[in-house]
Structure formats: structure tokens, C-alpha cells
Structure 1
């Protein structure tokens, strides 16, 4: 009903594209903030000087010095860091005995994203999409400026947690502008690469600025202009209708129509009131589903566990490689840029494969190829040829790109695999597993000095996830299910199907028998007639 009203006032007009640009383009800033620790965790060149060193001032400041990046365990060490590259590591001395702090800070941030996602979903439903999303943008701007003045790593970690919460809240509410878009254009709008564009900008900004404080302040300043959208973008028409705020919904319809140069249908108010009444009735009579419903019955249990494992694996691998990029050989800034910009090239091939070979095969294929990339990195390391370290960087970037392609396929597969009544629950549970994977991801490349361990972990996760993807039901070309089919209803449906086949078979047999009898009767009559004719002629 509301879909027709939105179509009548313009489902892809100037108002819709203005709304998309004012809100969804902020994803670029959020992606910058999300992966800030990829640069903040970069370890600059540093030198260790024991306190008993008498000629510290004349010690050579170059990589050939015996003091270069050496953790002195026999005496207290005074560390000096490269002045041109200012990161969180150099600010809070996060090397040697403090190495564990860097991945911990990143994990704390990803924990904030998880909490923000949980809060954002509830807040968007209770207080509205507009208030939720603009509160997240406001706090994100404030926290990014404050964190630049952290006096210790504990304060920095606390504000990174708060920033992560803002990012999680924003990402949950980013579907808000899609509620103004018609069904024909939602997929295209959702796929606009605002997030990847932000990562490319982060690579360029970190290369040009090279100061974590200025980058954080810049993020706070850049995100603040998006707050002006508060005075232009209205509350969600659909949300207002379900909350029985009809007069406000009518005003928004008038605004959209004026902006797009269209007219509001005469029955618009009746439709809005009908939607509100249906929502009230549903809340009084319909079953309240919980997360337990996505695990009831073996088919649903298998589906949910497999989907959640794939989300966990994609998140762990993708963020693990992103946060661990500073450990790769070659130039950090170039690697970061290439990892970000090459993700843009996978958009059209992924969309093509989703439509041509299906959701599960596209997802599984990308996961298996990503696993193959990790296994290739293991083989290269087993050869132990230092000159091939650039090859490890190359296959790692390839694994990151393929994992991103698998994740994009997984979003479509997950949404189409659950019936409407529990779709948000199934998607929410899978997203939660992704956030848990994001919390663990920073530790992937911090598990000791053995560089083979991260690739073994990622290869196992990716292969397992590929198998899980193949176990899913293909959803390409299928209508979305709305209700959960119980075991009794499924058996009854199968019985009806068998009964229908039996009835058709019986009817067919009866028809065949009747035709046979008619043929025999006709044959006898024909023969009798022929004999009589012959007798007469004789």
C-alpha cells in the first residue's frame, strides 16, 4: 500500500537522490573512522637506547644500527621513534612489552560497533530513524575531536569504543533513506560504493598527513556538516505511519510531492490510516518471534548456524587483513590504497554472477578462491624465500578482495533465506557474529612471530564457510517466503502433494481406460459393420 503511494509522488526523483546523498554519503566518513587503526596501528621506525649507553647522542639513526627495533630485555630501554610518521604506536610506545595493547584497542573499538548496532536497531524503532542517525553523527564528530587529545592509551581506547558505538548505530540506521526509494532502485542505491570510497580517501589522507591526531580532528570536522541534513531530511514516512502519526506523514508526503513536482493521491490519508490500523492489529494478535525461532527445527538450525559461520569468517578475514596490512611487505600506503581501490572492480562481476549462477555458488566460489589465496601464501612461506615476500602481499590482497565479494553475495543470500516474520532476527544474529569476528580480527596477525598461523586460521575458516554456503538452498529467482512453515504444515503439504499426484494419476488411468473402451467399442462396431456390408455385397 505505502509502496504505491511512494511511487505516485516519485520513488526515484530529486528528493530521493538528495536524501541518499545527504545520509548515505556519510558512510565514507564512517569507513574512514572504522579503519583508522589500520594507520594508527602502523609501527614507525624506532631505535632502542639502553639507559647505560654513554654516547646516545652520537648513535647512528639508521636501520643498520644495532639499536634499530631491538627490544632490550637486560636493561631499561629508552625508545625514539621516527618523527615524520606519528601514529598511536609512537604516541603511547606500543612496542615490545606493550605490543598487546594495539590489537586490544582495535578489539575494544569493534566491541563498540557491536554495542552500537544493538542500540541502533532498538533506537531506530522506538525513537525514529532520523533522531537515531543524526545523534550518531553528532557524537561521532565530538568523540573524534576529543580522542585526539588522549593523554594515555586507556583514554584513547575508551573513546575508540564510543566512536565504534556511533559507527554501529549509524550503519544499522543507514537503511533509513532506502525507505523513501521505490523497489526498482533499492538494489542500485544500496550498492553505491560509499564505504569503499572512504577507504581510498583514508589511504590518501594517511599518506599526505601522517599524523593520527590531525586525522582524528579532520574526521570530526568533516562529519559535522552532515548534521545540516537534519533541517532538510524528514523522518521516515513508513515509520511514522506504523506509529499512527498520520498528520506528520501527510506533511512529508506533501514535501516529497512538491520537491519532485508531483501530486499526492487523494486516498493517501486513507492508506496511511489503514497501515496504522494494521500495525496495531498485528501487535495485538500476531505471534511475537524471538531469536529462538531461527534455531527451531533441524533445517532452520542448519541454515542459521551456517549463515552465521560465514558472516563470522568473512568479518574475521576481511578485518584481519585490513588491520594487519601494516605487517605486509612493501609500502604501507600503496598496499592500503590498492586493497581499497581494487574492491571497486569486484562490484559488477559479483552482480553478474549472482544473477547468472546463483547466490550460493557465487558466495561459495569466492570463499574457496579466497581460501586458495591463503593456502598459496602458506606455500610461499614454506619455501622460505624472502624475495617472494611481495608475492605474499599480492595473494593477501587477493584474499581480501575475494572475501569482500563473498560478503556482498552473502548479504543477498541471508536476506532471501529467511521468511519475513524472522528475517530481521536472522540477519541481526548473523550481523552479531560478524561483529564478534571483528573483535577477534585485530589479533589474527598478532599471534606470535610465526607468520603462517594467520593464514592457517583464515584458510580453515574460509573453506568451512564455502562448504556451508553450498549447503544453503539456492534463492535466485524464488519469491520471498513470508511465514514459517512448521513440521506439521510441511508434512500436510507433502501429503496434499502426494494426494494430488495420486488423483491425477487415477484420473489419467481412468481416462485412458475410458478411451480404451471407446476404441474397442468403435473397433467392434466397425468390424461388425464391415462384415454386414461384405455379406450384403455377396
Structure 2
């Protein structure tokens, strides 16, 4: 008698994506990972955009009891002080005239996502404390450099770290959304099981997957199945299937391999483009009409709506098409700004509101492009060089962040 195969019997997983699906897909475990990691982007936003408020230059200065414009303060021979009592780094250190330039002034793939993440968080904590305690503009510039360098690594690492716990349909969530969590996170935060498998740490990866199964209320997958998956993925990524050693890649791979070179150059252009708009509008916001604090709230709302919308389009249209849609939207909104200035009279009260609206629309487009771009970049590289690839592709983003404030 032939027994009919039970349709409810789960199939044996053949790769990590199927393993994650069997263990609940986007379950409680993945939700906790996202909350722990992405919640730390909130203080990062304060850290990066605080110069908008503390770096404001007052329009008028007081020189020997005479009110003068900022252009006339350079010829003042007496004591110069700002008329506006609001304290900024410009007023505290008199950063005018000859000193006005001062304010503008592979680990993860080798050692794992968890400890690299905590190290970058510690670096950001040090930079933020140094920013607050800076006694002069030069120490302040150094502190901002530390914050900026750690922030760049943080963006790339958080995208990869969370992405490796998610199935393809939910990976855009990893690109959406530190200091207080620095001491509470390590106890729960696990290492990436994909990275552990790639580095022959199969037992450790299995423990994390068992923990994931219990949290999501699913049956755990046996160790032998995980071992077979690790061997398959190692054989697929290695030229010699019999070689069980762990190869450490370097950034030279991105120059020597023609496919990686072309992919990286395209992604670098994408990162530079959305970053120019994203940071340009972020630092230009002080020049928009209206209350600067409310404008910052509106800018935050564009991010809050841009990321969920991008998540929807990422799964509907795909990563590349979603990226094209959002970057086109941002480009059209920015091109419309000078057109509006030509059409409307300078004294028209609606001109400032129209420009602000277009800038927020462009910011919305760049936020969606950022989400789609980070997801596309993370999925364009294998696990062995994923963080390095995302960091190398995103290396043009800090360059755009440097240029954008000068243009704003």
C-alpha cells in the first residue's frame, strides 16, 4: 500500500532564506532585532543634524555699541558680540571673518556584525561627548569628524546586520526607521547567523537559530540540516569545494573582479546622488521660510513617510524600479524650485512656502531612494563581503555630505 505524502509536512530547507521562513519569517525575534538596532538611529539623527541649530550665524553683530551687519564686523577694531542672545558655536567662539571656515570643516566582515556595531556605537558616544565638551572650535571640528566617520560606518552596518535576520520580502524594513542602549544591547544582541555559517561557526549559528525558533514559537531546525546548508553555501561561493578554510577578502577584490567593479561604481553613483539631496536639503533647512524648529519636524515627517512608502514599492516594483521612481521624484521637485522662482514675484508671500514644499517633496524622494538604495546594495553582494561592499559603495555618501552644506 502506497502512503500519500502529507502535504503539511514541512520541506527540508536548502538555504538560509528558507530557514528564516520556516522559523517564522518576520516574527517576534526579528521585530526585537529591528527595535534594538534601528532605535539607535534616533540619537544618530540628533548627532548629525545638531549643527543646523548650534552652528547658526546671527545676521547682526554688536561692535562698540553700534549695530553692524555681518559683512562690516571684519573691519571692527573693538569687541564683537552677537545681538541675538541665542547661544551657538559661532557666537561662543566668534567664528567670523578669518575664523568663519572652522565649523565646515573591513572590520565587520572579518570580526562579525555584533562587535563592530558596538564598537561604532562607542565611537559615536565618544564623539558626542567630545562635541558637548569642546573648549574651542578646533576640538569641536575633531569631534564632528569622529561623529561623521562613525556615522557612515553605522549606516552601512545597521543595514547589513538587520538584513541578515530577514527574508527578502522584509529586507526593506531594515533600511527604514545610541548611547543609552550601548550597555543594555550586548546581552541580547546576537551575532548574524549568516556570518557565523560563512565562517564555519556552525554550532554558534545553530544556537542563535534555536533561540529564534523559541522566540517565534516555531520548531527548531536540527544541527545537521544547518551544517548541510553551510556546506552548500561554502561550495557555491568557493572555487575549491574541498577547501574548508575561511578566506578573508580585502577591498582589492572590488578592483580585481570586473563584475564587482562595475556593480560598485554604479552603486557609488547612486549613493552620491541621493546623499547630495538628502544632506543638502537637511542643512539648507535653516534658509527655508518659517520656523526652523517646525521645519525640522516637517523634515522628519518626510522621512517617516518616505521609508514606509519605499518598503511598499520595494516589494511591488522591485529595488531598482523603486529607486528610479524616488530619485526621479526628488529630481523633478528640485528642478521645479528655480522654475517657481522665475514664475512668481520675489515679493509674493507664497514663494517661500512653495519653495519649502518642493524641498520637502525632494527630501521625501531622497528618503525613499535611500531606503531602496541601501536594500539594493546589501543584496548586490555575497555575505562574505556584504558589509565591505555596502561600505565601499556608500563611501561616496560622506563626500556628498561634505559638499552638500557648502552648496546649501
Q: Do residues 309 (structure 1) and 269 (structure 2) align?
A: yes
Deviations 1:122-181 (A, max 9, x none): 111111111111122223223312321111111111111112222222222212233223
Q: Do residues 11 (structure 1) and 25 (structure 2) align?
A: yes
Q: Do residues 435 (structure 1) and 390 (structure 2) align?
A: no
Aligned counterpart, 2:186: 230
Change (3 A) 1:317 1:69: same
Aligned counterpart, 2:195: 239
Deviations 1:302-321 (A, max 9, x none): x7655533432221122112
Q: Distance in 2 between matches of 1:148 and 1:415?
A: 34
Q: Is the 8 A contact 2:58 2:83 kept in 1?
A: yes
Q: Distance in 1 between matches of 2:268 and 2:201?
A: 37
Aligned counterpart, 1:96: 97
Map 1:73-92 to 2 at 5 A.
73-81=74-82, 85-92=86-93
Q: Is the 8 A contact 2:337 2:358 kept in 1?
A: yes
Q: Distance in 2 between matches of 1:20 and 1:269?
A: 29
Q: Distance in 2 between matches of 1:307 and 1:265?
A: 36
Q: Which moved more, 1:375-384 or 1:155-164?
A: 375-384
Aligned counterpart, 2:288: 328
Deviations 1:352-399 (A, max 9, x none): 555666666654454444344334332454566144344333333333
Change (3 A) 1:47 1:351: same
Aligned counterpart, 1:176: 161
For residue 136 of structure 1, give the secondary structure of its aligned residue in structure 2. Answer: helix
Partner of residue 272 from structure 1, selected from 227, 235, 238: 227
For residue 229 of structure 1, give the secondary structure of its aligned residue in structure 2. Answer: coil
Aligned counterpart, 1:38: 52
Change (3 A) 1:142 1:434: closer
Aligned counterpart, 2:138: 154
Q: Displacement of 1:44 after TM fit?
A: 3.8
Change (3 A) 1:399 1:95: farther
Q: Distance in 2 between matches of 1:356 and 1:349?
A: 11
Q: Displacement of 1:276 after TM fit?
A: 5.3
Q: Is the 8 A contact 2:156 2:394 kept in 1?
A: no
Structure 2 residue runs of 5 or longer lacking an equivalent are 1-14, 242-246
Q: Which moved more, 1:331-340 or 1:273-282?
A: 273-282
Q: Distance in 2 between matches of 1:284 and 1:358?
A: 31
Q: Displacement of 1:24 after TM fit?
A: 1.7
Q: Displacement of 1:89 after TM fit?
A: 2.0
Change (3 A) 1:381 1:171: same
Partner of residue 145 from structure 1, selected from 102, 121, 129: 129
Q: Distance in 2 between matches of 1:256 and 1:361?
A: 33
Q: Distance in 2 between matches of 1:440 and 1:156?
A: 19
The number of aligned residues is 382
Q: Displacement of 1:443 after TM fit?
A: 0.9
For residue 20 of structure 1, give the secondary structure of its aligned residue in structure 2. Answer: helix
Q: Distance in 1 between matches of 2:23 and 2:321?
A: 39
Q: Is the 8 A contact 1:250 1:269 kept in 2?
A: no
For residue 79 of structure 2, give the secondary structure of its aligned residue in structure 1. Answer: strand
TM-score (norm 1): 0.61
Q: Which has the higher helix share?
A: 1
Q: Distance in 2 between matches of 1:99 and 1:134?
A: 35
Q: Which has the larger radius of gyration?
A: 1
TM-score (norm 2): 0.78
Partner of residue 298 from structure 2, selected from 299, 324, 338: 338
Map 1:19-418 to 2 at 5 A.
19-44=33-58, 46-49=60-63, 53=64, 56=65, 66-81=67-82, 85-104=86-105, 122-174=106-158, 175-187=160-172, 189-192=173-176, 194=177, 223-266=179-222, 268-272=223-227, 275=230, 279=234, 282-283=237-238, 285=240, 290-292=253-255, 305=265, 307-347=267-307, 349-350=309-310, 363-382=323-342, 385-387=346-348, 388-411=351-374
Q: Distance in 2 between matches of 1:392 and 1:419?
A: 42
Q: Is the 8 A contact 1:23 1:226 kept in 2?
A: no
Q: Which moved more, 1:285-294 or 1:238-247?
A: 285-294
Q: CA RMSD in A?
A: 3.6
Change (3 A) 1:240 1:419: closer
Q: Distance in 1 between matches of 2:124 and 2:267?
A: 31
Q: Which has the higher contact order (CA 8 A, sep 6+)?
A: 2
Q: Distance in 2 between matches of 1:240 and 1:362?
A: 32
Q: Is the 8 A contact 2:61 2:73 kept in 1?
A: no
Change (3 A) 1:381 1:295: farther
